[in-house]
A and B are shown apart, each in its own frame.
Chain A
Amino acid sequence: MKPLIDVQNLTLQFDTDEGRITAVDDVSFTVMPGEVMGLVGESGSGKSVTAKSLMYLNAGNAVYAPESKILLNTKDVSLDVLKLTSQKQRNVVRGGAISMIFQEPMASFAPAISIGKQMVEQLLLHTDMSKTQCKELSIEMLDRVGISDASARFDQYAFELSGGMRQRAMIAMALSTKPKLLIADEPTTALDVTIQAQVIDLMRELVSEFMMGIIFITHDLGVIAQTADKVAVMYLGRMIEKGPVRDVIRNPAHPYTQGLLDALPKMDDLESPLVPIPGDIPSPLERPTGCVFNTRCGKVVGETCTVNIPEWREKNPDHAVACHLFATEA
């Protein structure tokens, strides 16, 4: 089976007043239909920018490297997203084959247009349905994601809904065009834990029902453990570890992944101290040479780490890590 999305050597830079900064550096991954991939990293690690490039949504000053490829394969289309030149071609991907759920649902809905009107608008754009059919489908989707009294909610505005409801409406809207790939960018970060648990349950149900691929972006490894099949860890624009979620969380191979896990408060051992990763993520204007993590890594070995960029090493056929130390440890 061909992967739904196959990202190869994605490198993305932004032209800014302060020079050209690298946001994503040589990132490759695939997502199969029905698979959930978690993308983890701190703020500034380039996870959102990576996801946005799948829909060609980055700002006008973005420069993609010529060798970058984003291959999308569905039943209807097979294309390289980065080769699309016109707005019309891109619209097949945006909201059609790929949908996105953003972090802040209040900012993603237009405040002066009713929820229903916004849902119908995108369906008219992407499908051949009539207005009445669109309305019926929208109400059905709202009902599906657990919004009570969906036909009344249809005519309400975003400010009339609570945070959890808004995020559900956002999910209903993103799924109504039946996308093949759903990108969820921190969909639960702004929600309370009790509501977060409800939204996670909902998303798990929907994956199995619609057989779509999901890219789940978050900085919360607990959320990843409960939702994803595989996980990729990013740091300062580079992918540094990827593998099946059980493997990566139980036996992390990269010092950064280990650091992220150690920094989490653990509920089963309240006495264990919290171990922060020392220092802060460097500015993208001052990217370290060699391994990008060398400025904060506790295990750094002289020039091996500060000069040479680490290659991917296989821990096992599915689990790979980009760290010089991995070979010597094994």
Chain B
Amino acid sequence: MTDNLISTKNLAVEFNIGGGFFKPKILKAVDGISVDIPRGSFFGVVGESGSGKTTLGRALLNATKIARGGAVYDDGEVRYDLEKMTPAELKDYRKRAQLIFQDPYAALSPRMTVRDIIAEPLEVMGLTSGREETDKVVREIAAKCRLNLEHLRRFPHAFSGGQRQRISIARALVSKPQFIVADESVAALDVSIQADVLNLLKSIQIDMGLTFLFISHDLSVVAHTCDHVAVMYLGRIVESAPTKDLFNSTRHPYTKALFSAIPSLDPDAEDSAQRLVGEIPSPTNQPSGCTFHTRCPHVADICKSEVPTLETCDEGHAVSCHRWKELFETAAL
């Protein structure tokens, strides 16, 4: 038994996007990711749209096929190799790993009461022996997510965005999972409600000892909630570090650019911005060498031809950049 709940090795996910049988066109959504998610951690993944962060989350839930490499799930009770699971193992894994969706308006069936929505996983997975027990579990979990008995009788349309997201959270928690993937779970909410949902997720994680994979495009949200952050760009991890290290000693130019793009609350803030030019390239047509070289302000010749590897630069801090040492020493970032 190790301390990691999930541990991946060169994990890759590819999609066939046409081109015919003999010359298939392959889209590399996730391209060789090795990452360890410690048990009981709040692990953040950030990146722009198209960076492959959602696909990574889906692969770890075994909701999409793993093309190459592998991932191991080990919660102390069971140990599964995600790339080769038997149907029985997969059925058990579904209880242990759950997903909270982005849009709470689309994720809840409008025709079911809140009680039925939360109870459905229990009934489908046969986790309770009768209606009474189901009701008891539903009520317990609902109370944890600050939903009262009155709420359970109503339909989703009667709720606001923040309340709906709490219902989605309750549904994800009801099967007593160990691992939760929260995919942009606060992106659709107003700031005042966003803070409330983040605090709830955090307290649940501590109470129940869960492990979260928190996927977001918003670095400021990630910075406030996660213990460890991995930054993704075009299917690869470019930097991965404990949250404080990532913020205090940023090593990758892309991470730096993401930080400086966050609008400052201070109207007089110096525009230190290293603005990124252009947009993230299409994953079907990836640049050679370091995939970030088309937008990087510090690009050199080596970046265009050779693919950088993820090197450890500090305790728990890894970066994938040819020039990180030089940039860090000259304080160019």
- 8 Å CB contacts to A: which residues of B164-191? 190-191
**One of B22-30, B31-39, B267-275 at the interface:** B267-275
B261 within 8 A of A: yes
Q: Which of A201, A222, A225, A275 is B195 in contact with, Cβ under 8 Å? A: A275
Across the interface, which residues of A come within 8 angstroms of B221, CB to CB? 265
Beta-carbon contact of B161 and A43 below 8 Å: yes
Interface size on B, residues (CB 8 A): 44
- 8 Å CB contacts to B: which residues of A224-246? 225-226, 245-246
A211 within 8 A of B: no
Beta-carbon contact of B162 and A201 below 8 Å: no
Beta-carbon contact of A222 and B247 below 8 Å: no
Beta-carbon contact of A222 and B265 below 8 Å: yes
Beta-carbon contact of B257 and A194 below 8 Å: yes
Beta-carbon contact of A219 and B190 below 8 Å: yes
Beta-carbon contact of A263 and B49 below 8 Å: no
Beta-carbon contact of A194 and B194 below 8 Å: no
Q: Measured between alpha carbons, how far is A15 from B269 in the docked complex, in Å?
A: 45
Chain B residue at smallest Cβ distance from A222: B263
Chain A residue at smallest Cβ distance from B191: A263
**A193-B261, A196-B261 given as contacts; is B160 within 8 A of A281 (CB)?**
yes
**One of A23-31, A108-116, A121-129, A266-274 at the interface:** A266-274
Across the interface, which residues of A come within 8 angstroms of B243, CB to CB? 270
Chain B residue at smallest Cβ distance from A226: B263
Beta-carbon contact of B263 and A223 below 8 Å: yes
**One of B56-64, B109-117, B212-220, B311-319 at the interface:** B212-220
Across the interface, which residues of A come within 8 angstroms of B261, CB to CB? 193-194, 196-197
Q: Measured between alpha carbons, how far is A214 from B191 in the docked complex, in Å?
A: 23
Q: Which of A194, A200, A225 is B265 in contact with, Cβ under 8 Å? A: A225
A42 within 8 A of B: yes
Interface size on A, residues (CB 8 A): 43
Across the interface, which residues of A come within 8 angstroms of B190, CB to CB? 42-43, 219
**A194-B276, A270-B247 given as contacts; is B266 within 8 A of A225 (CB)?**
yes
Q: Measured between alpha carbons, how far is A246 from B48 in the docked complex, in Å?
A: 30
Chain A residue at smallest Cβ distance from B194: A263
Across the interface, which residues of B come within 8 angstroms of A260, CB to CB? 191-192
- 8 Å CB contacts to B: which residues of A163-215? 163-165, 192-198, 200-201
Chain B min CB distance to A168 (Å): 11
Q: Measured between alpha carbons, how far is A42 from B193 in the docked complex, in Å?
A: 9
A220 within 8 A of B: yes
Q: Measured between alpha carbons, how far is A265 from B195 in the docked complex, in Å?
A: 8
Chain A min CB distance to B48 (Å): 4
Beta-carbon contact of A263 and B192 below 8 Å: yes
- 8 Å CB contacts to A: which residues of B250-306? 257-269, 273, 275-277, 279-280
Beta-carbon contact of B191 and A219 below 8 Å: yes
Beta-carbon contact of B192 and A201 below 8 Å: no
Q: Measured between alpha carbons, how far is A1 from B268 in the docked complex, in Å?
A: 27
Across the interface, which residues of B come within 8 angstroms of A162, CB to CB? 279
Total residue contacts A-B, CB cutoff 8 A: 124
**A193-B262, A246-B268 given as contacts; is B195 within 8 A of A276 (CB)?**
yes
Beta-carbon contact of B49 and A259 below 8 Å: no
A67 within 8 A of B: no
Q: Which of A43, A219, A225, A263 is B263 in contact with, Cβ under 8 Å? A: A225
B133 within 8 A of A: no
**A222-B262, A267-B223, A276-B192 given as contacts; is B217 within 8 A of A193 (CB)?**
yes
Chain B min CB distance to A196 (Å): 7
Q: Which of A201, A267, A277 is B262 in contact with, Cβ under 8 Å? A: A267
Q: Which of B163, B199, B263, B280 is A197 in contact with, Cβ under 8 Å? A: B263
User: B237-249, CB under 8 A of A: which get 1 and which 0?
Assistant: 0000001100100
A264 within 8 A of B: yes
Chain B residue at smallest Cβ distance from A264: B191
Beta-carbon contact of A270 and B258 below 8 Å: no
**A192-B217, A197-B275, A265-B223 given as contacts; is B267 within 8 A of A280 (CB)?**
no
Q: Measured between alpha carbons, how far is A260 from B194 in the docked complex, in Å?
A: 11
**A265-B223, A270-B247 given as contacts; is B262 within 8 A of A220 (CB)?**
no
Across the interface, which residues of B come within 8 angstroms of A198, CB to CB? 275-277
Across the interface, which residues of B come within 8 angstroms of A201, CB to CB? 275
User: A30-68, CB under 8 A of B: which get 1 and which 0?
Assistant: 000000000000110000000000000000000000000
**A197-B275, A263-B194, A265-B223 given as contacts; is B267 within 8 A of A163 (CB)?**
no
Q: Measured between alpha carbons, how far is A201 from B280 in the docked complex, in Å?
A: 19
Across the interface, which residues of B come within 8 angstroms of A249, CB to CB? 265-267
**A198-B275, A226-B264 given as contacts; is B247 within 8 A of A280 (CB)?**
no
Beta-carbon contact of A197 and B191 below 8 Å: no
Across the interface, which residues of A come within 8 angstroms of B259, CB to CB? 267
Q: Measured between alpha carbons, how far is A20 from B268 in the docked complex, in Å?
A: 44
Beta-carbon contact of B49 and A192 below 8 Å: yes
* Residue in B219, B243, B268, B276 with the greatest tally of chain A CB atoms within 10 Å: B276
Q: Measured between alpha carbons, how far is A266 from B49 in the docked complex, in Å?
A: 23
A-B contacts besides A164-B279, A197-B260, A197-B273, 18 pairs, CB < 8 Å: A42-B190, A42-B192, A163-B49, A193-B217, A194-B257, A197-B263, A198-B275, A225-B263, A249-B267, A265-B220, A265-B221, A265-B224, A266-B265, A267-B220, A267-B247, A277-B196, A280-B162, A281-B160
The 8 closest A-B pairs by CB, nearest first: A276-B196, A222-B263, A274-B195, A276-B195, A277-B192, A265-B220, A263-B195, A197-B261
Q: Which residues of B are interface residues toward A (Cβ below 8 A)?
A: 48-49, 160-163, 190-196, 198-199, 217-221, 223-224, 243-244, 247, 257-269, 273, 275-277, 279-280
Instruction: List 6 interface pairs A-B (beta carbons < 8 Å), by A numbering.
Output: A193-B219, A193-B261, A197-B275, A223-B263, A225-B265, A264-B195
